[in-house]
Amino acid sequence: MKHFLLILFFLPVIAFAKEAEPLAENPEVEARMMALANELRCLVCQNQTLADSHSDLAGDLRREMRGMAEKGMSDKEIVAFMVSRYGDFVLYRPPLNAKTLALWFGPFVLLIGVGLMLVRYLKTRRQRLAAQGQLSEDDHKKAEALLQNNGEQV
């Protein structure tokens, strides 16, 4: 039983013990690849970057990117390859184009629209309150009379 528990305890460790990924010979290449991988989305576990993901595909993609970096391809070229295969979806920063206009500017348009509505509402409210606060001719006379008579009933 004791042994069983011990095994149970270490099971997660065993499960995660994976062979270390081969790194690039050149630490500069590795750093460049990882910086790029941080900007790209893993297609399998979509809330992780390619740098963070433990999925097989992410590992393979890092390997491909490492290879491309070693071949001397520029960052732009490497990202372009990824986009040509997986679409803009791999980019955590979507490019600005007709399809993404709403994404980029929608929130600002919404904010400005709501702001304008608020300004208009406040303006009409102020006018309404001002109108309510105005005394009629009769009210004025009554008020004056009250003041002159020192509060005694007219």
Partner 1 sequence: MNRYLLPLGVFIVLLVFLGIGLNLNPRDVPSPLVGKAAPEFNLPKLENPAEIFVQKEMLGKVWLLNVWASWCSACREEHPLLVEFGKSGVVPIIGLDYKDNRIDGMRWLSGMGNPYETVAFDEDGRVGINYGVYGVPETYLIDRQGVIRYKQTGPITPEILRDKIMPMVKELQK
CA-CA distances (angstroms) from residue 56 to 18, 26, 59, 76, 128? 12, 23, 5, 24, 66
Asked whether position 60 contacts partner 1 by CB under 8 A, the answer is yes
Q: Does 45 participate in binding partner 1 (rule CB under 8 A)?
A: no
* Residue 50 binds to partner 1 (criterion: CB under 8 A): no
Shortest Å, Cβ 83 to partner 1: 7
Binding residues for partner 1, rule CB under 8 A, total 18
> What is the distance between the alpha carbons of residues 3 and 47, in angstroms, rounded to a whole number?
38
Question: Which helix (H) or strand (E) element contains residue 75?
Answer: helix 75-86
DSSP secondary structure string for all residues of 102-138: HHHHHHHHHHHHHHHHHHHHHHHHHHHHHHHHPPPHH
Residue type, 40: L
CA-closest candidate to residue 76, choices 28, 127, 39, 116: 39
Q: Hey, what are 150's tokens?
A: 């020192």
113 is a contact residue toward partner 1 (CB under 8 A): yes
Q: Which of 39, 48, 51, 57 binds partner 1 (CB under 8 A)?
A: 57
Regarding 144 and contact with partner 1 (CB under 8 A), the answer is no
Q: Which is nearer to partner 1, 88 or 139 (CB)?
A: 88
Kindly state whether residue 85 participates in binding partner 1, applying the rule CB under 8 A.
Answer: yes
Q: Which pair of structure tokens corresponds to residue 48?
A: 């992780």
Interface with partner 1, residue 52, by CB under 8 A:
no
44 binds partner 1 (CB under 8 A): yes
Least gap, CB of 133 to partner 1 (angstroms):
21
Q: Which of 51, 73, 79, 83 binds partner 1 (CB under 8 A)?
A: 83
Contacting positions for partner 1 (CB under 8 A): 43-44, 46, 56-57, 60-61, 64, 83-89, 113-114, 117
